[in-house]
Structure 1
Amino acid sequence: MEITVGLEPWAEDDFWLLLRKNELAMTEHLGGPETEAKLRDRHRRYLALSAREPGAGRMFRVVADGDTVGSIGFWERVWQDEEVYETGWGILPEFQGRGLAARAARALVAHAGVHGTRRHLHAFPSVEHTASNAVCRAAGFVLLGEVRFEYPPGQWHASGDWRVVLRGDGS
């Protein structure tokens, strides 16, 4: 039976999901757990992002067959002198391994393609994060190569530069 995956706009009462995603198993490739104050700040940023015009980006809860299973979003950034979108996601441990992140990423690509203004969407998973690299591949991203990427601020690591074309000639 096919699982239905949808994206729900980030809402005020979604803070619990940030708390769940702050567990060590979810943050080992992201610099480790954050303080509750940092999580509350992130929650405010997610709400503010989704209150802006659609082309600025969005944060979503990922919902599968009625259950909240994680989050995904996209936001504006400049990468190698180009205005692009960046994306990131996290699926809760008990829902991992079912292809939900890749399906959410494909839904996000479709959403950004319709509502966004940037030509490319990038993802920068650590080269050591095999699951997120597999999500990129399954969602139709193309690996451009390995880059040094800073996340969180002050922590540099080797990442894959994955890109999908949202509009234009595909280059």
Structure 2
Amino acid sequence: METRVRLEPWAEDDFWLLPRKNEPAMTEHLGGPETDAKLHERHRRYLAMSAREPAAGRMFRVVAEGETVGSIGFWERVWQDEEVYETGWGILPEFQGRGLAARAARALIAHASTHGTRRHLHAFPSVDHAASNGVCRAAGFVLRGEARFEYPPGHWHTSNDWRAVLGGL
């Protein structure tokens, strides 16, 4: 039986998840670990996202069988002259390999389709990040090709551009 996931809006008590996701194994494709100050800044940004209108994007904790297993979110951006959403996720190492990220991404696509105002949701995993590219494939994104991508600021790498069409728009 497939484990169901639930997306819970990011809350004040969720800071603990950021240091866990900041471990070297979790940040290898994201430019490496961030400072504690950057993590606190990220937490404030995630809380602010939860306070905005739903169409502007959201950060969520991913919950499976009553346990927090990671996070996922979406936010507004312009990509190739189109207003789109971008998504990113991180599942804690002890929960990886169970399909939870793909289930969370499908739940996020459904949420953005219901609450969003943009037609497309993009993900930009590094071309050499097999697990995240697999999540995109399993969640129903379509590979559009490679793109030079800057993340974090100052770190350029080659990413895959995956896109999901949001329904109901």
Aligned residues: 169
Between the aligned partners of 2:91 and 2:167, the Cα distance in structure 1 is 27
Counterpart of 2:80 in structure 1 is: 80
> For residues 161 and 56 of structure 1, what CA distance do their matches in structure 2 show?
21
* Structure 2 equivalent of residue 30 of structure 1: 30
User: Structure 1 residue 168: deviation in Å?
Assistant: 6.8
For the residue of structure 2 that corresponds to 1:44, the secondary structure is: helix
In the alignment, the residues of structure 2 paired with residue 3 and residue 47 of structure 1 have an alpha-carbon distance, to the nearest angstrom, of 27
Q: TM-score, normalised by structure 1?
A: 0.97
SS in structure 1 at match of 2:114: helix
Structure 1 contact 126–158 (Cα < 8 Å) conserved? yes
1:86-165, aligned counterparts within 5 Å?
A: 86-165=86-165
> Any gaps of 5 or more consecutive residues in structure 2?
none
User: Which runs of no fewer than 5 residues in structure 1 stay unpaired?
Assistant: none
Name the amino acid aligned to 2:10: W
Kindly indicate whether the alpha-carbon contact (under 8 Å) linking 2:147 and 2:160 is maintained by their aligned counterparts in 1.
yes
1:54 match:
54
Q: Distance in 2 between matches of 1:153 and 1:143?
A: 24
Which residue in the other structure is 2:8 paired with? 8
Distance 2:75 2:92 in 1: 21
Contact kept? 2:113, 2:168, Cα under 8 Å? no
Distance apart, 1:2 and its partner CA: 2.6
- Matched-pair contact (CA < 8 Å) for 1:120–1:167: no
User: How far apart, CA to CA, are the structure 1 residues paired with 2:54 and 2:8?
Assistant: 14
Shift of residue 167, structure 1, vs aligned partner: 3.8
What is the Cα deviation at residue 4 of structure 1?
1.8
Residue identity opposite 1:117 in structure 2: T
3-state SS, counterpart of residue 59 of structure 2: strand
